[in-house]
């Protein structure tokens, strides 16, 4: 497994786990109060910040643990990264459009923020899944 | 393993004919990783035209002798 393939798995796991923890926190809070009254913002910001920090530290660790001879990135890695980005970007656009529509109908901020966050996570997860599958099965 | 491309190749046989050139040595000479050579050999990745020409050049044969498309392999 190349370093880039390992990074795809790392990105996938970090994004999914961070969102899972956030969702659990918010839904636990919603058990004792209406969902729109849950103070979701701190959990969301901590979850995003933690994912970024863990992602950076994980990348550095992977780089340190991978022999220098296996760290090279070539044209195939760039092609696969581009394909993953293309898949992921679609969800960023969808998230922006959903947030726009929710803002137009004056939906609670909780729904707007969560629609954007969910699409960010879907973008990261599906982009990473695409990369991982393409590394294994080709394209 | 699913064949992801209709392009087939004879790189493995040509490497052997070129004096048992290893995947790593071929990869180093054209500036890609060994994993990319493995993926190309197994039909899991269609290389760019430039990489295809580089492979043929290193193996010392015309491009047509290395890569074949669909039923064009004679």
Nearest CB partner across the interface for A72, out of B3, B33, B39:
B33
Q: How far apart are CA B11 and CA B17, in angstroms?
A: 10
The C-alpha of B19 sits at a distance from chain A's nearest C-alpha, in angstroms, of: 24
Contact B22, B59 (CB under 8 A): no
Position B73 scores a pLDDT of: 56
pLDDT at B1 over 70: no
Contact A75 B32 (CB under 8 A): yes
With 60 as the cut, is the pLDDT of residue B72 above it?
A: no
Average pLDDT over residues A79-96: 93
Structure-model confidence comparison of residues A41 and A4, the more confident one: A41
Q: In A, what residues contact B, Cβ < 8 A? A: 2, 70, 72-77, 137-139
What is the ipTM score, two decimals? 0.77
Question: Is pLDDT of A33 > 90?
Answer: no
Residue of B nearest to A5 (CA): B35
Query: What are the residues whose beta carbons fall under 8 Å from the beta carbon of A88, sequence distance 6 or more?
Result: A123, A124, A126, A127, A128, A130
Structure tokens at A82: 């581009």
Q: Is B43 on the interface with A (CB under 8 A)?
A: yes
CB contact under 8 A, A74 and B42: no
Q: What is the pLDDT of residue A66?
A: 85
| Greatest mean pLDDT range, A36-40, A48-52, B31-35 | A48-52
- Packing angle between helix A3-30 and helix A75-104, nearest 10 degrees? 20
Euclidean distance between CA atoms B27 and B24, whole angstroms:
5
Tell if the CB–CB gap between B33 and A139 is shorter than 8 Å. no
| Minimum Cα–Cα distance from B36: chain A residue | A76
Mean pLDDT (whole number) for B18-37 = 92
Closest to B51 (Cβ–Cβ): which among A72, A75, A77? A75
- A98-125 mean pLDDT: 95
Kindly state the average pLDDT of the residues B51-66.
Answer: 95
Decide if pLDDT at B22 tops 50: yes
pLDDT above 60: residue B74 = no
For residues A43-68, give the mean pLDDT: 93
Q: What is the pTM of this model?
A: 0.80
Please tell me the predicted confidence (pLDDT) of residue B2: 47
């Amino acid at each position: 497994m190349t370093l880039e393939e390992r990074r795809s798995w790392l990105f996938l796991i970090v994004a999914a786990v961070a969102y899972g923890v956030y969702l659990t926190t918010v839904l636990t809070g919603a058990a004792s109060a209406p969902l729109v009254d849950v103070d979701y913002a701190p959990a969301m910001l901590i979850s995003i910040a933690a994912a970024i920090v863990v992602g950076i530290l994980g990348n550095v660790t992977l780089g340190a643990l991978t022999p220098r001879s296996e760290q090279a990135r070539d044209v195939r890695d760039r092609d696969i990264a581009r394909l993953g980005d293309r898949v992921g970007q679609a969800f960023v656009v969808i998230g922006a459009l959903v947030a726009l529509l929710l803002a137009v109908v004056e939906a609670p901020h909780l729904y707007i923020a969560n629609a954007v966050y969910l699409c960010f996570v879907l973008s990261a997860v599906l982009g990473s899944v695409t990369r991982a599958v393409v590394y294994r099965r080709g394209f | 393993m699913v064949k992801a491309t209709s392009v087939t190749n004879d790189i493995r046989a040509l490497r052997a004919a070129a004096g048992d050139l290893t995947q790593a040595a071929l990869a180093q000479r054209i500036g890609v990783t060994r994993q990319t050579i493995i993926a190309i050999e197994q039909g899991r990745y269609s290389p760019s035209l430039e990489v295809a020409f580089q492979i043929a050049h290193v193996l010392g044969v015309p491009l047509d002798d290395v890569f074949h498309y669909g039923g064009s392999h004679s």
